[in-house]
Amino acid sequence: MNKLLFIICTTVAIDATGMGIVFPISPKLLQGMNVLGDIPLYVGLWASICTLMQFVFSPILGVLMDKIGHRPVLLLGNA
């Protein structure tokens, strides 16, 4: 497997794992922080905003990767 492809797949797997761990327990986390209001709404907004930001910034980061290289952008994204 190409080294760059491996790095990209690893990054995507780490991102998906993080979302898979945090998203199911986020209502309990918000309750533990004494957040008032409609907690399911907040969790839904959080998930929607994360997805929207990935949709918006993926093409921008793709152009940036083409201009300055993949490694600096991936390192910055994982920082």
Is the pTM higher than 0.85? The answer reads no
Convert the pLDDT of each residue in 36-49 to its tens digit: 888 888 888 988 99
Residue count (the chain): 79
pLDDT band at 26 (very low <50, low <70, confident <90, very high): confident
pLDDT of residue 79: 65
CA 2 to chain centre: 23
**Cα separation, 46 vs 52, whole angstroms:** 10
26: tokens are: 């986020």
Who's near 39: CB < 8 A, 6+ residues apart?
27, 30, 31
